Amino acid sequence: MRRIPLSRRSHITGFQALGFSRATQHESALERDFVMLTTFLDATAEIVSQPVTLSFQEDSMQRRYTPDYLVHWTDGQSELVEVKYRADLHANWRRLRPGFEIARTWAREHRARFRIATERGIRCPMLVNAKRLLPLRTAPIDLEIAEEVRAAVRALSEPTFGELVAILPKERASVLGALWRMIARSDLRADLSTPIGFHTRLALP
């Protein structure tokens, strides 16, 4: 269980599913979105909630600071992450900064890097795609339609989502379902930094 009490902005608590029977805890909507986005970017990343509590001295007072997450990315990189709303950072920067500095030192000593994630970086268009696609990664797919999609993409030069829906001789709802699931599984490549729509161009991996 997370040890740190809820802040005034922490309205949502719970566990965010990471797939493969894994989950990590969050205390706010922003933390939930951070975990979701991280999982979307790297399905096998290890996300550890409140991984370490750091003690440090400030003005003859003993203080403690617990970062929100430690992320071990699949490529071998590690990040110690604090998730904060920008308004909270601005309002409490002088109080928060010493803890961030000790966290940066700890991260460096453990071959990681420390960063602060705010809603500006988390609540981006890619998060919209993550919310739509993550539940579809393990959803069943019509294999016959999926093969027809691959054939059509091979025959065309990066067709749009809408073009594929229009040319495939199957029920529209079935084609839409297959396309979304294939994008979610990375069977189709798309620009995930912008919201997916009928204008989105698709290609094979």
Q: Report pLDDT digits (tens) over 1-59.
A: 444 444 444 444 454 555 433 556 667 899 999 999 999 999 899 999 999 999 999 88
Question: Which residue range(s) make up the domain with 75?
Answer: 14-123
Last residue of a domain, one of 83, 101, 123: 123
118 and 140 share one domain: no
The amino acid that residue 203 corresponds to is: A
Containing H/E element for 10?
A: none
DSSP 36-68: HHHHHH-TT-EEEES---EEEEETTEEEEE--S
The answer to whether 27 touches 48, Cβ cutoff 8 Å, is no
Position 183 in a domain: yes
Q: Model pTM?
A: 0.78
pLDDT in tens, 51-106: 999 999 988 899 999 999 999 999 999 999 999 999 999 999 999 999 999 999 99
106 and 34 share one domain: yes
The amino acid that residue 54 corresponds to is: L
Distance CA 84, CA 10 (A): 10
Position 80 in a domain: yes
